[in-house]
Structures are given as structure tokens and as C-alpha cells.
Amino acid sequence: MSRTASVTTRRALMKGVAWAAPVAAVATTAPALAASPLPIEAVLDAGKSCKLPRTKQYRLSFTFVNTGAKVTVKLRSITVSPNSNTHVSFPLDSSNDTFEIAAGGTHSVDYVSHVSGNAADGQASATFTLEDGSGEREVTQNFGFQSFSNCKD
């Protein structure tokens, strides 16, 4: 019976390590990325959002949906950028720009803009910070919209 000895060369070993290293790196970073989705989503309520034609202002209604643990939300800014390139800002009210949302809860807020020269189609954005015990994160969400209907009240 004849036996042949198998010898692994240093070059073959290094090739194997070079191919295995990227796989190991990906495998170790994937769990960290999977744990990073934000627990809060701001939703622009198109049914409640509208324009005030007499005063040329917007009323935007947001609902914040919490899919994680209890969190504190602080609104930093709300803007509307109609396609006419006339940017509209919203004054934030200290009585409702910071609020807590229980785990699995929601919170709705309405804001009325400064006077606007145009209430056409465009984009709205909301910037807010989240505090959930693991630190504070700043988030900006953008919302495209068609022309809002006139407010009924």
C-alpha cells in the first residue's frame, strides 16, 4: 500500500486566507447594520394637510410612528419647497415640538407655515432628533406632494 504525503504550500495557504478574509469581514459587520434601522417614522397625512388660500399658508399634519422602545422626539425644522423654488418655513412651537412616544405608539402634530407666495406641488421635509436611551440621532425625512387642497376650516 502506497501513501502520498500532502504538502500545503505557503502560497496556497495565503490564497485561502485572502479569499476568506472578505467573507469574515462581511459576516461580522452585517449584524451591526441590521440593528440600525430607526424606530421612528414620520408620516405626512395628506388627508389632513392642506393650504390656507386666504393667508397663503400651508398646514401640514404629521403622525410619528414608533416601532421601538420609548423615545423622545424633538422637531428641529419643517420646510416646504414648492416647484416654484419659493421655500416656505414653519415656526416651531415649544409647546408641541418635543414629545415622548411610548413603545409601539403614535403621536400626531399639526404645523402652520409662515406666509407663502405659492402653494404648488413640491417637497416637504421634517428634521428631528431622536433620544431613545442609546444616544441622540438627527433624522431628515422628505415627502413629495401634489398640490394640497384648500383647508375646510
- Cα distances (Å, whole numbers) of residue 113 to 1, 10, 42, 118, 133: 91, 69, 18, 12, 32
Phi and psi angles of residue 21, each rounded to the nearest 5 degrees, phi first: -60, -50
The model's pLDDT over 102-136, given as tens digits with 9 standing for 90+, comes to 999 999 999 898 877 665 677 888 999 999 888 89
Phi and psi angles of residue 10, each rounded to the nearest 5 degrees, phi first: -60, -40
Residue 64 · residue 42 · CB < 8 Å = yes
Residue 71 · residue 101 · CB < 8 Å = yes
The model's pLDDT over 47-82, given as tens digits with 9 standing for 90+, comes to 888 888 888 888 889 999 999 899 999 999 888 887
CA atoms of 91 and 126, how far apart (whole Å) = 12
pLDDT for 21: 36
Band (pLDDT 50/70/90 cuts) for residue 147 is confident
